[in-house]
Copies of this chain bind each other. A is one copy, B any other.
Amino acid sequence: MTKWSKAELPSRNELRSAKRSALIREAAMAFRSKGFYATSMEDIATALGVTKGALYRYVENKQEILFECFKASNQLGEAALELARWTPGSGLEKLRTFIKYFVEKYIEENTAGGAMVDIGALFPEQRAEIIAGRDRVDAALRTIVQEGLQDGSIVERDPKLTVFTIMGSINWIPSWYSSGGEHGPREIAEIIADIFTRGLQADGQAAARADHPAPARKRKAAPVT
C-alpha cells in the first residue's frame, strides 16, 4: 500500500468523477425504464448502496443528472454525424452510417437518452441548450438527406419528416430492448439501418440501371465481430 507513485493512484478528483459517472449511469438506466419523475433520488441512492443525501456530493440537484443524460445523447449524435460526414459515397450511404453507429452506441452506453419525453423537467436554460443541440443534429441530418436527394440516392422528398421517423424508431429502442434478447446492439443497428436505407432509397437503384452507377447499393451484413 506504500511506494506507489502518485501517477498510478487515482487522484481524489478522479475518484470523485468516477463515482459521479457511476451515479449518472445508474440514474440514466432508471430514467430509461421508469422515467424521470418515477425515479426518486432515494431509488438511485439505494441502487448505489448509499443514502440519498450522499448523492448531493456529486450533483447539485436531480435535474443536473437528467441534463447529463441529454448531453450524452447529443454528443453521441454529434459523433455519429462526424462519422457520417467522413463516409465516402452518396447521401444515403452517409445516412446509413449515421444510423448504424448511433443505434449501436445508443444501446451500448446506457447513459444516453433516458426518457426523452421528460425533457420538460429540465431548467429552462438547460432545456434550451439541449434543444438547440438536438436541433443542430436534426438539421445536419436533414442536410444529408438533401444531399441524397440531389445525388439521386434518396427518393423520399421530405427530409424533416424522414429524420423524425428515424429518430422515433431509435428513441423507442429502450422501451423494448433487453440485454438478454436474441439480438445484440450491432445486429439491431444493422437491421434498423437496413430498413431505413431501403426505405429512402431511389426506386431505380435496387434494380441497377446502367446510367446510374448504383452508388448506394445496399451493403449486406459486413462480418460482425
A187 to chain B, nearest CB (A): 9
CA distance A133 to B176 in the complex (A): 16
Query: A45 in the interface, Cβ–Cβ < 8 Å?
Result: no
Please give me the residue from chain B that is nearest to A176 by CB atom. B164
A interface list, Cβ under 8 A from B: 33-38, 115-118, 120-121, 155-156, 158, 161-162, 164-173, 175-176, 183, 188, 191-192, 194-201, 203-204, 206-207, 209
Give the chain B neighbours of A195 by CB distance below 8 A: 156, 162, 165, 196, 199-200
Q: Which of B173, B176, B183, B198 contacts A198 (CB 8 A)?
A: B198
A22 to chain B, nearest CB (A): 24
- Is the beta-carbon distance between B207 and A192 smaller than 8 angstroms? no
A195 to chain B, nearest CB (A): 4
A35 to chain B, nearest CB (A): 5
- Is the beta-carbon distance between B196 and A207 smaller than 8 angstroms? no
Given contacts A38-B121, A165-B192, 18 further A-B contacts (CB under 8 A): A35-B117, A37-B37, A38-B118, A38-B120, A156-B191, A161-B188, A161-B192, A162-B195, A164-B169, A168-B172, A169-B169, A172-B172, A195-B196, A196-B199, A198-B201, A203-B206, A204-B207, A207-B207
Give the chain B neighbours of A170 by CB distance below 8 A: 168
Please give me the residue from chain B that is nearest to A206 by CB atom. B203
Q: Which of A115, A121, A166, A203 has the most CB of B within 10 A?
A: A203
Q: Which of B35, B173, B201 contacts A168 (CB 8 A)?
A: B173
Once A37-B38, A38-B37, A118-B35 are accepted as A-B contacts, the answer to whether A183 and B161 lie under 8 Å apart by CB is: yes
CA distance A207 to B201 in the complex (A): 12
- Is the beta-carbon distance between B120 and A191 smaller than 8 angstroms? no
